[in-house]
Amino acid sequence: MNRGTRIELGREIRRWERSVLEEGDLSLVGGSVRDLLLGSESSANDSDYIVSGLDLERLVEILGKYGKTDLVGRSFGVIKFTERNGGTVDISLPRKEESTGTGHRDFLVDTDPSIPIEEDLVRRDFTVNSMAIELRSMRLVDPLGGLKDLGDRILRVNRETSFTEDPLRILRGVQFMARFGLNVESRTAALMSRDAQLIETVSPERIRMELDKLILLASSPGEGFVFMHENRILDYVFPELEETWGISQNEFHPDDIFYHSIKSCDMSPPVLHLRLAALFHDLGKKRMKQVTGGRTVFYRHEEESARIAERVMSRLKYSNDMTDKVVHLVKNHMFFMTDDWSDSAVRRFIARIGLEQIDDILALRLADGRSRNDGHISEEVGSIRARVEKVLAGASAFKREDLAVNGRDVMEVTGISPGRNVGRILEILMEAVLENPENNNRERLFELIRKEAGL
């Protein structure tokens, strides 16, 4: 056990921290310590603390002088503290836990200010997350050798039963491995594989949160997905991706569908909906694969990929807005803009994609091309962007709301009631404006309305 290494915190002790230290002991714990040792100072919002030598009531009294306290887990001895003009942190008393089931709340918890901090640390998930910094002495408390494992870039689970106590720790381990460049110790990997089926007992929301951290925070999320495949985890998390392993493509793709998908994800900007779209965009190829005229083709695979994206995101309880963004990008990623496209064709492209998602669809196209070593993809995307910007420089309308008339105008001119016919006429007007932006004036649109209504 390491208890003596002095750590430079990189900041001053806060006023509320000093007040707690006047009556008890206060330590930074967990991920904030890990990140500090890796050379990146955690923000206050990422900090977790343990307080020893003070009971919960007195701790709340002290903290109340400096901000708002919320007893989010009285039975667990956990306070959420929001400092005035500052961030929110979790502060807890030392505790022991005894698992009573597979759920993350299935524990008998014993909180006691007199429990040594080492006993609290060893109940955690991985050695690299089981360290603390005593703020009184600035000494490291490291009962399981987490500092050495961090230096050796090793992810090691604390005990045999860690994943059965909370199976989500398997996915936490995967995203830690990918985010921090850690090698999973062989016994830890074996335990992850052994207990992978227990992931089915975890709520979809918790699974989604860990996947989002992997996809958004790892520079190469694909490493996590490969690890999950190799250790028989992925089938319980993302079977739709697992099923693409080894499914070959055609002469335009050097990799199978699995590797092409994760490489596209890796090469996307670190924006969640973009990386999700890249991950999903070709998953429908497995079902749509066929050989025609001696060639392997995947006609309309984008539609099947969009259906898969919608199904998976619904299962994982993504918001409707996030799901709509991703599904829309996946469904529309197969477009081919050539030099002979007219300006009206470019306007229709912008209208179909949506002006707010043009940059996104081009980012997806770029990641897709780079993942298959397309040496011309940057030039192609640059050419498309130039055509789009040229069209955008002129006045035009790309959605109904941009028209110089609205549904009420249509009803007043034609005398028809609200319903599908109003929408049909607006679509006709929209087509006329996309064909020629000069049509977007009230006089001309009224003429078109009357003509369509036979007036």
Torsion, Cα of 213, 216, 222, 224 (10° steps): -10
Residue 247, token pair as written in the block: 């499914």
pLDDT for 30 beyond 50: yes
CA distances from 270 to 104, 212, 242, 364, 367 (A): 29, 11, 23, 12, 11
Please tell me which residue, 104 or 314, carries the higher pLDDT value. Answer: 314
> Model confidence at 43, in pLDDT bands (50, 70, 90)?
very low
> Model confidence at 125, in pLDDT bands (50, 70, 90)?
very high
CATH ID of 2-147, from 3.30.70.1350, 1.10.357.10, 3.40.50.261, 3.30.460.10: 3.30.460.10
CATH ID of 153-229, from 1.10.110.30, 3.40.50.2000, 2.102.10.10, 2.60.120.1440: 1.10.110.30
- Segment 125-134 mean pLDDT: 95
* 3-state per-residue secondary structure call for 272-330: HHHHHHHHHCCCCHHHHCEEECCEEECCCHHHHHHHHHHHHHHHCCCCHHHHHHHHHHH
- pLDDT value, residue 185: 98
> Model confidence at 155, in pLDDT bands (50, 70, 90)?
very high
pTM of the entire structure?
0.87
Chain centre to alpha carbon of residue 422? 40
Burial bucket for residue 149 (CB in 10 Å: 0-12, 13-18, 19+): buried
- pLDDT value, residue 114: 75
pLDDT for 44 beyond 50: no
d(CA 61, CA 352): 58
pLDDT tens digits for 258-291? Answer: 999 999 999 999 999 999 999 999 999 999 999 9
The mean pLDDT value of the chain amounts to: 90
Tokens 């020893």 belong to residue: 52
pLDDT tens digits for 318-349? Answer: 999 999 999 999 999 999 888 889 989 999 89
- pLDDT value, residue 403: 87
d(CA 273, CA 325): 7
pLDDT tens digits for 173-217? Answer: 999 999 999 999 999 999 999 999 999 999 999 999 999 999 999
- pLDDT value, residue 109: 56
pLDDT tens digits for 387-421? Answer: 999 888 877 788 888 888 898 988 988 888 898 88
| DSSP 3-state of 410 | helix
pLDDT for 75 beyond 70: no
The dihedral through the CA atoms of 260, 264, 267, 270 has a sign that is negative
Residue ranges in 22-155 assigned as alpha helix (H): 31-37, 56-63, 117-122, 146-151
- Segment 351-357 mean pLDDT: 93
pLDDT for 430 beyond 90: no
pLDDT for 110 beyond 60: no
- Segment 127-133 mean pLDDT: 95
pLDDT tens digits for 45-61? Answer: 458 999 999 988 899 99
